[in-house]
Amino acid sequence: MSEEVYQAIPHRPPFLFLDEILDATEDSVRASRTIRSNEPQFEGHYPGNPIMPGVLLCESVFQAGAVFLSRKLEVDVAGDTTKRTPVLTRIQDAKFKSIVRPGDNLIIEASHTETLGQFYFLKGKVTRDGKTVMTVKFSLAMVEAESTT
């Protein structure tokens, strides 16, 4: 896991599904992830025939969206020191086109489509070897982080 990912979002193993940020633009982010056979979900999700749960593929896209949003807001609200956390507010049209297994190298993309107030609408996809594995539309909101003191 790259330090860049750790700095961008609050997620940590075993619930971090991005290895590295490949590139980011004003409207999108691309990240990578290698699926490992020793990940805890494979102990119970089709033992002996490990298949990456679709919900975790979605989560990888949501995390890429959170990376995008944290970078965008860092630029847009320079000087605002309020700690915010990206929170999922909507999932639409998740479509799974292929099975993902341990050893697969994935590219995870999220791109911004619209902003309405505090809600950021995005679309995302996961690809393997240039072929689409899944697509999803979703929205995130940045909420003020609760104090842990």
Catalytic amino acids? Answer: 45
Amino acid identity, position 65: G
E strand or H helix at 55: helix 54-76
To which residue do tokens 């979703």 refer? 138
To which residue do tokens 């995390």 refer? 63
Task: Report the alpha-carbon angle 110-27-94, nearest 5.
Answer: 25
